[in-house]
Amino acid sequence: MNIIRFKIKYIAAIFSLCLSVSVKAQLHIIPQPLHLTEQKGAFVLSGKAVIGVDKESEAVGKYLQDYLATNYKLNLKLKVYPKIPIATAIQLVTMVSNKEGAYSLNVKPGSVKIAGNGAGVFYGVQSLLQLLPAKAIAPLKITTCAIADEPRFQWRGLSLDVSRHFFTVEEVKKYIDVMAHYKLNVFHWHLTDDEGWRIQIDKYPKLTEVGSKISFYEKQGKFRKLDNLIDGGRDGFYTKNDIREVIKYAQARYVTILPEIEMPGHSEAAIFAYPELGCQDSTGAKHRVRMLDPSEHTFGFMEDVLTEVIALFPNQYIHIGGDEAEMIDWLKSPAAVALMKKEGLKNEKEIQSYFIKRIEKFLLSKNKKLVGWDEILQGGLAESATVMSWQGEAGGIAAAQMHHHVVMTPLPYMYFDAPQANEELEPVGWNPPVTWQMVYNYEPQSKELSPQEAEYILGAQGNIWAEKVPNALHLQYMVYPRALAVAELTWSSKANKNINRFEYKMKQQYGYFKLWNLNARLPNIVGMDNIVTNSNQFGLVLQYPLLGAQIRYSVNGKMPDSNAKAQGFPVNISAMLKDSLVLKTYTTWTLNKQHIFQVATIKHANITASNVDQAGLIPGLGYELIKSKETNFAKLDTTVIATSAVVNTTNPMVLPVTDGDLTWVKMSGYLKIDVDGDYELTSGFEVSPALFLDGKPVIYKNKNTYVEPQKALLHLKKGVYNLSGYYIADNINRMQDLLLLKEAATDKLVDPGKYMFH
């Protein structure tokens, strides 16, 4: 039997099963509720239904009324009651709750009842909206169910950088709208940076008269070349009335806005408007000035700015940045040198600490709390500061251990300016790819924290920087669907997460994305993996989770485009396989307005059984630990062995030794096959090991399993096959499965005790 064709047919069967499940029930709520029970029957929503509210829930009722009118052309009546009658079709009941955001939702054949505090009622409505069909199909049926729900974390955030590319009030409102649909509740508004100042400050009008027009001045030759921006940037700023309008809009959706005013670095736009703020150089050298001078004039200026910011934003937190400060510039500044002498500061890091603590003191005098990026730990952390940990987790872990509140937003998992797949196939971005799976698997409360320390983790946040994001459609593409993973990992209980269920639910959201005219990145084709096979005939059936999608493809290595012939899914591909074949696809959806590219390589390998005497085989794979700074396994000195041992499980639990060298694991042994058949061999490592069967590479090293999925689909005869490999042990892969073997016909995992020998 042809192994590839068999395997893909199996995938197609599972895919069809998922489609049938989606027809049967619509319980695909994101984030996953704490308790959800599906019941028999349905509630039919008609235009005659009444939304019954009390005084406290009236605003949420009006929100629901407007949503149904806009998206489903249903004009329901809204009635305010002292006590809502039980016969009312939709009931929004305010109740006291010990947990902010908790709610209950009960859908019965005759009524829908949502109960909770203010935020809870709103979140219950969002769950109700995801029970509605994604199209206005009469009659609108809602599956009966019972939900009791509450958030895990109180900080469930998304940022938006409007400094590099300005986004309009309406674009920001839509950003907040979609956040609210998924119960995200903190909008981090990055309002100032080197490339633009976006908030009106009355006392210093040049901040917007000049600082919001950096792109204009760059084109005039009066500002440096904006080479870091994809298109030279987009100018603009928000008036105070604009800010108030957005705040009011966010409050109606229970979204808190966190404003960020960058300091002491990333201040080039402010310095361009007011040059006296810039760090002075006693040597007279001319260079790019991004750092604020730590002078009394600067502190007075920033306090004036913050006073006006504080007057606008009701949020208890103000973000002051603090990241990537070029502190070395201070050592040439007369003002900074004088400050060091006056305050007894030993180095530039202590100047940074002094700067942050001084701003913190001012914010505290205004009853506000300071938030900063993890660089504010340098030189000593301000007493009441909350840390956003972006340079990995180390800063957040250190701050939590010091009993400071922390928001986890680490590279790479929470950075959405990274591409979502192979960089060559996606819009340009910073950093290696970050898939939705990588986001979903992130855990904000590190195992390095004690239970008491973990309580200082307020939650997590996804970040997007707009150097390479020129417009709102591009922004939506970069943020969604990854933001849905942030929503579930911050709302749902840790025990209630399930990545396979989430993937199914996520794909059901595309109907809503279309309803909201949201340009989310399309899901991948099912089965587009990099494959090693010993089959001479390549057969593949391509499937897609969105109805109406079309595909253009080639098997000659050339990328198809919109001029190629399009066809609907499923697609049958068959070809002889002598060496390797490169499959390239161009998938479109919703009348070709959205598209994605994918590439998969299918390689042929001759796999021959060994003639080793099976009688002498011992269970388990042999492995050797090698300590080295070498990053290429082909160049390892394998004669210097630190430890030798045997591993009897797919999860080897090899602990890395952090002594400056890498902990390499060299494996050797045999794959024992007891029954002729078709098998799938994969690795559960997020970053793959190098695995060889009969000396042929079947899994290639250093490929992210979600970005470039790999598998070997092999027809193996009864016997033993030489198995070897290499990987670097780290704190992530020691909890993951090194090698997984499945029976292709049943997708059943084979017990490692039956196939791992040496």
Cα 683 to the center of its chain, rounded Å: 23
Residue 13: predicted pLDDT: 36
User: Would you place residue 614 in the very low, low, confident or very high pLDDT band (cuts 50, 70, 90)?
Assistant: confident
Neighbours of 582 (CB within 10 A): 15
Among residues of the chain, what percentage have pLDDT more than 90? 78
Residue 22 has pLDDT above 70, yes or no: no
- What confidence tens digit (pLDDT) does each residue in 295-327 have? 999 999 999 999 999 999 999 999 999 999 999
pTM across the whole model: 0.93
Residue 195 tokens read as 């490339």
User: Would you place residue 623 in the very low, low, confident or very high pLDDT band (cuts 50, 70, 90)?
Assistant: confident
CA proximity to 390, closest of 177, 658, 655, 161: 161
**Mean confidence (pLDDT) of the chain:** 92
User: Would you place residue 503 in the very low, low, confident or very high pLDDT band (cuts 50, 70, 90)?
Assistant: very high
Among residues of the chain, what percentage have pLDDT more than 70? 96
Mean pLDDT value of segment 738-745:
92
Q: Please list, in sequence order, all residues whose beta carbon lies within 8 angstroms of the beta carbon of residue 643, skipping any fewer than 6 positions away.
A: 624, 625
Element (H, E) at 336: helix 334-343
Residue 578: predicted pLDDT: 85
Question: Rounded distance, CA 628 to CA 622, Å?
Answer: 19
Asked if 30 and 484 count as a contact pair (C-beta separation under 8 A), the reply is yes
Mean pLDDT value of segment 148-175:
98
Residue 428: predicted pLDDT: 87
φ and ψ of 187, to 5 deg: -105, 110
What is residue 415's DSSP assignment?
B
Q: Give burial (CB, 10 Å; 0-12/13-18/19+) of 632.
A: exposed
User: Would you place residue 23 in the very low, low, confident or very high pLDDT band (cuts 50, 70, 90)?
Assistant: very low
Residue 107: predicted pLDDT: 97
Mean pLDDT value of segment 271-287:
91
**Strand 406-408 and strand 457-462: pairing?**
parallel
Asked if 741 and 716 count as a contact pair (C-beta separation under 8 A), the reply is no
What positions carry a catalytic annotation? 193, 266, 324
Residue 16 has pLDDT above 70, yes or no: no
Sign of the Cα torsion 409, 412, 413, 416 reads positive
Residue 102: predicted pLDDT: 97
Residue 10: predicted pLDDT: 38
Residue 429: predicted pLDDT: 86
Residue 382: predicted pLDDT: 86
Q: Please list, in sequence order, all residues whose beta carbon lies within 8 angstroms of the beta carbon of residue 90, skipping any fewer than 6 positions away.
A: 49, 50, 51, 52, 64, 76, 111, 112, 113, 114
- What confidence tens digit (pLDDT) does each residue in 684-701 have? 999 999 999 999 999 999
- What confidence tens digit (pLDDT) does each residue in 655-683 have? 777 677 888 999 999 999 999 999 999 99
User: Would you place residue 284 in the very low, low, confident or very high pLDDT band (cuts 50, 70, 90)?
Assistant: confident
User: Would you place residue 613 in the very low, low, confident or very high pLDDT band (cuts 50, 70, 90)?
Assistant: confident
Residue labelled with tokens 């009444």: 50
Residue 24: predicted pLDDT: 39
Residue 138 has pLDDT above 90, yes or no: no
CA proximity to 153, closest of 363, 451, 417, 459: 459
Q: Which domains does the chain have, with CATH numbers?
A: 1-29+522-604 (2.60.40), 31-149 (3.30.379.10), 157-515 (3.20.20.80), 614-757 (2.60.120.1560)
More confident residue, 149 or 1: 149
Residue 642: predicted pLDDT: 75
- Which residues, in sequence order, are bridge partners of residue 757? 619, 670
Residue 32 has pLDDT above 80, yes or no: yes
User: Would you place residue 18 in the very low, low, confident or very high pLDDT band (cuts 50, 70, 90)?
Assistant: very low
HEC sequence for 626-656: EEECCCCHHHCCCCCCCEEEEECCCCCCCCC
